[in-house]
Amino acid sequence: MIAKKIKFTSFDDERGSLVAIEGIKNVPFEIKRIYYISKNKKNFRRGFHAHKNLKQVLICVNGSCMVHLDNGFETEEILLNNSAEGLYLENNIWREMYNFSDDAVLLVLASEYYDESDYIRKYDDFLKFINKEK
């Protein structure tokens, strides 16, 4: 398994649903940054990168999307369609997001501020990087 899912408590009642997430307590890092992906156009894949240090939790808070993961040894296709569930991605994982539903909103919790130098944007460089790390 390349990445684990984290189950959050969902407070559901007649008004709807509320999910609360706290750094360290519900996700395994202090949250320094959040961003979200929405208004997705069909047939576009996003991502195509890995991170040297950054850890993230991906939550599809509305709609659904697929996530392709690759750790250099195996790949996985994961469906995200539950707003009370997060996908925990450690560093050194190549990811691509695809098949976004029209209404999909993908929320990302990140352990660090945005840092372009933490990105590995070429798949060949990713394979070289993880082989060096071993």
Is 68 tagged catalytic? no
Only one residue has tokens 């684990």, namely: 4
Question: Does residue number 55 form part of the binding site for ligand TYD (CB under 6 A)?
Answer: no
Listed ranges 19-27, 31-39, 69-77, 80-88: which one lies at the site for ligand TYD (CB under 6 A): 31-39
**Residue 5: strand pairing partners:** 87
Question: Would you state the structure tokens that stand for residue 4, as one six-digit string?
Answer: 């684990």
Q: Please say which residue, 7 or 23, places its beta carbon nearer to ligand TYD.
A: 23
**Is-contact 85 6, C-beta < 8 A?**
yes
Among 26, 28, 46, 78, binds ligand TYD (CB under 6 A): 46
Three-class secondary structure of residue 116 per DSSP: helix
Among 35, 76, 103, 122, binds ligand TYD (CB under 6 A): 35
Listed ranges 11-19, 33-41, 60-68, 73-81: which one lies at the site for ligand TYD (CB under 6 A): 33-41
Among residues 14, 17, 2, which one has the least CA distance to residue 82?
A: 17
- Which residues are part of the catalytic machinery? 49
